[in-house]
Amino acid sequence: MELTIIIFLLGGLFLGWSLGANDAANVFGTAVGTRMVQFKTAAIVCSIFVILGAIISGSGTTETLGKLGSINALPGAFAACIAAGLSVYIMTKSGLPVSTTQAIVGAIIGWNLYTGSSTNIQVLITILGTWVLCPIIAGLLSMLFFVITKNFLQKAKLHILRLDAYTRTALLLAGAFGAYSLGANNIANVMGVFVPISPFTDINILNDFNFSSKEQLFLLGGIAIAVGVFTYSKKVMFTVGNDLLKMSPVAAFIVVLAHSIVLFLFASQGISNFLQSINLPSIPLVPVSSSQAVVGGVIGIGLLKGGKEVQWTIARKISLGWVLLPILAALISFIILFVLQNIFNLAVNY
């Protein structure tokens, strides 16, 4: 493989690393931060399930991003990744809870605008609608789970120690499911733009098992996420566990479960096909924000408790991010593409 291809792929791997460093905390932050689960345990489980989710169920969301704009040159994909990474960095520095999902969509639109490719407005509207739905559904789900769990615990009268043991196990299982869903839903952000121009070729093992070039890309992206989890997420997990989400371990489990279901719903081809088969509207397979699903879940529980603890400023910041981040990412993408094409003489589209 040429060195330039590796350099261009580094853009996606960087995004994967930052996803692992930041979003693993949404899945295991409270569990590790409150010392219910050891970091080593969380990191191993998280890495394995992120990679599995990416390879097994990562196609759906990638296809949707592909419909929005199919970047057809490696330098173009590289520019989109760098633009997404930079814009997330800038917005995070400004204190807005944003995600790579919003950034990569903006960056793809930036590429469309720069190269004169058309943007599929219908797909764009679907994606935007999903971003709004994601925290709302997470909030509703966590409210539902909260009521069920509270009633169950009142009836079950578990000893505090037994509840602790069950909660640890539940946090670990919900975390594994969350990591799988994160990999399935968010791998599109990391590797989606490289799929149409994958430098890999399909590998056939014993004529039975086909390891496609897309799956190889997803494995690479999954490994990048895992590296992010191991190298940097510990700090973020302790911040999330101790500062942002000051809640009981049981409530944390509910939030992680609601978050994981939402991410899974928007990534599962199986559920989408099933709904279609019974004449219900299918769920769009769109990469959504893991952080915003968690915030939605936390707000849901806060509302059930009377709404006093709900930090509405965070909700406002999220909606601001939906608009500002894609615009910023599109702008940066536009500038990088201009630089790559005019200063480095690289073809950013064909």
Write out the DSSP string of 107-165. HHHHHHHHHTPPP-HHHHHHHHHHHHHHHHHHHHHHHHHHHHHHHHHHHH---HHHHHH
Stretch that binds other proteins, among 64-72, 98-106, 157-165, 322-330 (CB under 8 A): 157-165
Stretch that binds other proteins, among 41-49, 50-58, 127-135, 228-236 (CB under 8 A): 41-49
Q: Compute CA 205 distance to the chain's CA centroid, rounded to the nearest angstrom.
A: 31
Among 17, 28, 114, 146, binds other proteins (CB under 8 A): 146
Q: Is 150 in the site for other proteins (CB under 8 A)?
A: yes
Q: Is 159 in the site for other proteins (CB under 8 A)?
A: yes
Among 6, 162, 204, 309, binds other proteins (CB under 8 A): 162
- Tokens at 155, concatenated: 């009836």
Stretch that binds other proteins, among 40-48, 87-95, 185-193, 205-213 (CB under 8 A): 40-48
The nearer residue to other proteins, 11 or 297, going by C-beta atoms, is 297
Q: How far apart are CA 191 and CA 61, in angstroms?
A: 11
Among 10, 96, 168, 232, binds other proteins (CB under 8 A): 168
Q: Is 50 in the site for other proteins (CB under 8 A)?
A: no
Among 6, 7, 40, 276, binds other proteins (CB under 8 A): 40
Q: Is 3 in the site for other proteins (CB under 8 A)?
A: no
- Residue 75 neighbours by CB under 8 Å, 6+ apart: 8, 340, 341, 344, 346, 347, 348
Q: Is 144 in the site for other proteins (CB under 8 A)?
A: no
Q: How much of the chain is in helix, strand and coil states, percent to nearest 5?
A: 80, 0, 20
The amino acid present at 307, given as its one-letter code, is G
- Tokens at 270, concatenated: 């199986």
Q: Is 158 in the site for other proteins (CB under 8 A)?
A: yes
The nearer residue to other proteins, 124 or 172, going by C-beta atoms, is 172
Vertex 260: Cα angle to 236 and 97 (nearest 5)? 45
By the 8 A CB rule, do 13 and 193 touch? no
Stretch that binds other proteins, among 29-37, 100-108, 179-187, 321-329 (CB under 8 A): 29-37
The nearer residue to other proteins, 80 or 176, going by C-beta atoms, is 176
Stretch that binds other proteins, among 98-106, 142-150, 290-298, 314-322 (CB under 8 A): 142-150
By the 8 A CB rule, do 337 and 76 touch? yes
Under DSSP, the state recorded for 200 is -
Write out the DSSP string of 49-94. HHHHHHHHH-HHHHHHHHHH----SHHHHHHHHHHHHHHHHHHHHT
Q: Is 306 in the site for other proteins (CB under 8 A)?
A: no
- Ranges within 197-226 binding other proteins (CB under 8 A): none
- Ranges within 230-269 binding other proteins (CB under 8 A): 248-251
Q: How far apart are CA 252 and CA 268, in angstroms?
A: 24
Q: Is 27 in the site for other proteins (CB under 8 A)?
A: no
Question: What is the contact surface with other proteins in residues (CB under 8 A)?
Answer: 34-38, 40-41, 44-45, 146, 149-150, 153-154, 157-162, 164-165, 168-169, 172, 248-251
